[in-house]
């Protein structure tokens, strides 16, 4: 059902007299704090007014409102709505507005948190995630990947029933891997499945389970990690990218600062997104990286060009917000930090504006490593700047060190020595 019964004269008096009246001011303040435009604000108010009229007609107590009640309103009532007076009937607007309403009601303690149906597999995954987080210190993305894979294994073996780790045999693991291999065609991705399974079985071994036969049930496929050269920007392409910075436009100062963080400091997307105002020491000219991939705090010198780009963004473009993140959202809901995906999107857009045929944000990190090597830095120094926990991770950049490669290259057969 569309907007046929909506208009700018939609009734909102149900908000003042209906069951949601005590919570209207908090709802409006929430929308204001999120920074929604006037049109969106008005649509949300009209949507909740329609919902309030329906709740009153059903004689529902506010405490009973939850996702089930909202779904009943959207799926059963809305297609055959006969509410009195003009009412807002756009399903998309209604769904979004009622989602915000639930947030407000739960923040006030009026409505109980959503009930989550848990199975033994869910409980097992929760325990395993705590282990990966607190014992192994794995990043959230790594944990999510492992939980998806292990969850599929456990669900395929036990469904909603209790977990009996002794009931998993090596043949079960091999068959599961064969099924998953169809989804992961590249050797590196297939290795991710094996790594996730072995990590889980090691966790069970730490609990005293006899699972050593399961750990070796599948082997890693051949995957020559150092077989290819890391892609980097040429010196000319770096100049092109630098020359494209400073253009006027919406969110361009934020884009310039993000590109500078990736290009000058070699920061990962997640590290850029997590930079806080408290992490920058302007007097000392340093930036502190917290909650990094290696779970360490690293203090790096802040290059002048990077600091100037961040300062310009903070002074001229960053919206007023109570959030301490340096890079925040420019569209509603405001007052929120950006995420790694927006960092990657920003860098892709910077490549596109420059006319460079690249899409991966990690390219700037590789480029920085190449520039360090070209400037005479050792692999150990590159590893320190990129904050690699293992020097083996940095070895791939040895292929880019043309000065060292000349020293070890053999003469071409038949040529002068």
Kindly list the catalytic residues: 268, 293, 362, 365, 388, 397
Distances in Å between the Cα of 110 and the Cα atoms of 26, 74, 97, 334 are 12, 22, 17, 25
**For residue 287, what are the β-bridge partners?**
280, 300
> DSSP readout, 36-63?
--HHHHHHHHHHHHHHHHHHHHHT--GG
Residue with tokens 């980097």: 232
The Cα–Cα gap between 176 and 67 comes to: 35
d(CA 300, CA 288): 6
DSSP secondary structure code for residue 223 in this structure: -
Please enumerate in sequence order all residues whose Cβ is within 8 A of that of 175, keeping only pairs 6 or more positions apart, or say none. Answer: none
DSSP secondary structure of 143-160: HHHHHHHHHHHHHHHHTT
CA distance 349 to 291: 27
């Amino acid at each position: 059902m569309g907007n046929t019964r909506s208009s700018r004269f939609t009734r909102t008096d149900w908000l003042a007299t209906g069951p949601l009246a005590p919570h209207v001011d908090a709802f409006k303040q929430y929308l204001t704090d999120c920074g929604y435009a006037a049109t969106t604000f008005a649509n949300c108010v009209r949507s909740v007014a329609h919902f309030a009229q329906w709740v009153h007609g059903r004689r529902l107590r506010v405490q009973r409102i939850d996702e089930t009640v909202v779904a009943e309103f959207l799926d059963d009532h809305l297609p055959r709505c006969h509410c009195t007076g003009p009412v807002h009937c756009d399903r998309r607007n209604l769904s979004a507005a009622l989602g915000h309403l639930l947030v407000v009601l739960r923040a006030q303690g009026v409505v109980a948190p959503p009930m989550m149906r848990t199975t033994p597999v869910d409980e097992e995954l929760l325990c395993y995630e705590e282990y990966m987080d607190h014992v192994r210190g794995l990043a959230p993305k790594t944990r999510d990947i492992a939980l998806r894979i292990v969850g599929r294994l456990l669900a395929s073996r036990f469904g909603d029933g209790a977990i009996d780790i002794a009931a998993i045999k090596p043949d079960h693991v091999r068959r599961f891997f064969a099924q998953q291999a169809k989804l992961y065609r590249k050797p590196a991705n297939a290795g991710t499945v094996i790594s996730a399974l072995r990590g889980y079985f090691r966790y069970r071994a730490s609990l005293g389970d006899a699972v050593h036969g399961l750990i070796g049930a599948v082997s890693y496929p051949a995957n020559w990690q150092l077989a290819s050269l890391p892609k980097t920007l040429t010196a000319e392409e770096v100049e092109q990218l630098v020359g494209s910075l400073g253009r006027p436009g919406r969110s361009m100062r934020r884009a310039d600062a993000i590109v500078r963080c990736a290009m000058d400091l070699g920061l990962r997307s997640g590290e850029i997104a997590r930079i806080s105002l408290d992490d920058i020491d302007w007097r000392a000219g340093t930036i502190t990286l917290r909650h990094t991939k290696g779970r360490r705090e690293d203090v790096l010198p802040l290059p002048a060009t990077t600091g100037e780009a961040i300062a310009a963004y903070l002074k001229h473009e960053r919206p007023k917000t109570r959030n301490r993140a340096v890079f925040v959202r420019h569209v509603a809901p405001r007052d929120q930090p950006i995420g790694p995906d927006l960092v990657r999107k920003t860098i892709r857009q910077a490549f596109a504006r420059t006319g460079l045929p690249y899409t991966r944000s990690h390219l700037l990190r590789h480029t920085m490593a190449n520039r360090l090597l070209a400037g005479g830095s050792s692999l150990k120094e590159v590893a320190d700047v990129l904050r690699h926990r293992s020097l083996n991770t940095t070895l791939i950049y040895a292929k880019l060190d043309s000065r060292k490669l000349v020293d070890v290259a053999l003469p071409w057969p038949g040529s002068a020595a």
